[in-house]
């Protein structure tokens, strides 16, 4: 079985911005157990920026300028990788560093190359230690959070289980830090908007995510045919429990009955949207109920300066995102079609805006 494990900054580092050796040791012990049982595991580890700030003596308020954070990431990544490599080597396991950037998911050729490298490492019993390449990624091209990266990697390597380790036991009915009567949700069949609302906001100051990013990552994983376990990094049995889907160790989120091919997952979750098109209710129903492509005649508004083959979001009349896909026409051409119709001029009603093969529906 292939598994992907993600551990957040708040778990892999301490309050004084050093490596949390107790947690790293525990995870490495569990990785040995999984490896001995014949499983293959990739680890997505946050913590580089936090460790770098600590090593640079910046333990006060977190800097806000990007370049300082990039420099801290470069320093911290060295220490982060050294910690994982030393603990795994002590246990007889080999690991390798993989730093991913948005282009590794945005560009199909690099996407396939990343998949080949990771798959070969797993086949050979090497544990990939994965992080975003924060030292060179800027806000324009960042993937944003390692929960999302872990979900994309899970689909990339054909994992069966994604484990998201955090500083909470799992998903609760309310924020357990604020409400004493909050209860752990042990099993979730489908990620809904209501479920996402339970996740609250950002986590700790050392991390970039929070529970909401884990719920969104679980949604990506579900559509990849991957189950997700959200559990506490401090739980010494969290990883051991994953292959058998053991209950009582956190929140299990089921894989979706609707499994998407890798190309559509790439379009939906790896490519950034360069703009949007808003559609009328007739077009929305045609896409949702009949699986139709989107014709230009159904477009009522165009936003952005995208070109043909760029990714765009499809919005309903109320502004909610209902689909995403690759545009067949550029923004200028689509705007011209909309303007022609509004002016009563001749328009090409059969012009194709998005083909169904290049589009994924995001509403239930």
pLDDT of residue 205: 46
Residue 138 has pLDDT above 90, yes or no: no
- In angstroms and rounded to an integer, the radius of gyration of the C-alpha atoms of the chain is 22
d(C-alpha 154, C-alpha 229), whole Å:
13
Instruction: Evaluate whether 111 touches 104 at the Cβ level (below 8 Å).
Output: yes
Across 218-240, average pLDDT: 92
pLDDT in tens, 1-22: 999 999 999 999 999 999 999 9
Mean pLDDT estimate for the chain: 88
pLDDT in tens, 181-210: 888 899 998 877 777 677 654 444 444 457
Specify the fold of 2-264.
Carbamate kinase (3.40.1160)
From the list 150, 149, 100, 95, the residue with the least C-alpha distance to 127 is: 95
In which band, very low, low, confident or very high, does the pLDDT at 261 lie, cut at 50, 70 and 90? confident
Across 25-50, average pLDDT: 96
d(C-alpha 297, C-alpha 283), whole Å:
8
pLDDT of residue 242: 94
In which band, very low, low, confident or very high, does the pLDDT at 356 lie, cut at 50, 70 and 90? very high
Residue 302 has pLDDT above 80, yes or no: yes
Distance of CA 218 to the CA centre of its chain: 8
- Whether 273-361 and 2-264 are alike in CATH topology: the answer is no
Instruction: Evaluate whether 278 touches 300 at the Cβ level (below 8 Å).
Output: yes
d(C-alpha 363, C-alpha 348), whole Å:
28
Across 25-38, average pLDDT: 96
d(C-alpha 210, C-alpha 196), whole Å:
11
CA angle 231, 220, 354 (to 5 degrees): 170
Question: What architecture is the 273-361 domain classified under in CATH?
Answer: Roll (2.30)
pLDDT of residue 181: 83
pLDDT in tens, 324-337: 999 999 999 999 98
Beta-strand relationship, 321-327 and 311-315: antiparallel
> Within 10 Å of residue 199's Cβ, how many Cβ atoms?
17
d(C-alpha 42, C-alpha 38), whole Å:
13
Parse the chain into domains and list their residue ranges. 2-264, 273-361
pLDDT of residue 63: 86
pLDDT of residue 324: 95
In which band, very low, low, confident or very high, does the pLDDT at 363 lie, cut at 50, 70 and 90? confident
């Amino acid at each position: 079985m292939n598994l992907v494990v993600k551990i957040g900054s708040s778990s892999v580092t301490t309050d004084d911005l050093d490596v949390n050796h107790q947690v790293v040791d525990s995870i490495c012990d569990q990785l040995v157990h999984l490896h001995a049982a014949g499983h293959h595991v990739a680890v997505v580890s946050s913590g580089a920026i936090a460790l770098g700030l600590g090593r640079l003596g910046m333990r006060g308020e977190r800097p806000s300028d990007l370049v300082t954070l990039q420099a801290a990431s470069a320093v911290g990544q060295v220490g982060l990788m050294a910690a994982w490599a030393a603990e795994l080597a002590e246990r007889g396991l080999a690991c390798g560093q993989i730093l991913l950037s948005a282009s590794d998911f945005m560009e199909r050729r690099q996407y396939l190359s990343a998949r080949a490298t990771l798959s070969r490492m797993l086949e050979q019993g090497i544990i990939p230690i994965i992080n975003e390449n924060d030292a060179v990624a800027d806000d324009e091209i960042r993937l944003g959070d390692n929960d999302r990266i872990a979900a994309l990697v899970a689909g990339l390597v054909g994992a069966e289980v994604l484990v998201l380790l955090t500083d909470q036991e799992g998903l609760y009915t309310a924020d357990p830090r604020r409400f004493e009567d909050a209860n752990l949700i042990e099993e979730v069949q489908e990620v809904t908007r209501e479920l996402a609302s339970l996740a609250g906001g950002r986590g700790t100051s050392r991390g970039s995510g929070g529970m909401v990013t884990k719920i969104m990552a679980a949604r990506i994983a579900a559509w990849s045919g991957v189950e997700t376990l959200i559990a506490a990094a401090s739980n010494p049995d969290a990883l051991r429990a994953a292959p058998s889907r053991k209950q009582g160790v956190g929140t299990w989120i089921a894989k979706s009955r609707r499994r998407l091919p890798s190309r559509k997952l790439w379009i939906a979750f790896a490519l950034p949207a360069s703009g949007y098109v808003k559609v009328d209710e007739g077009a929305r129903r045609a896409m949702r109920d009949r699986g139709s492509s989107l014709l230009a005649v159904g477009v009522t508004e165009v936003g952005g300066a995208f070109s043909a083959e760029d990714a765009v979001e499809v919005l309903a009349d109320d502004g909610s995102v209902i689909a995403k896909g690759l545009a067949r026409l550029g923004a200028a051409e689509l705007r011209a079609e909309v303007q022609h119709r509004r002016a009563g001029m001749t328009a090409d009603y059969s012009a194709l805006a998005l083909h169904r093969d290049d589009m994924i529906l995001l509403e239930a």
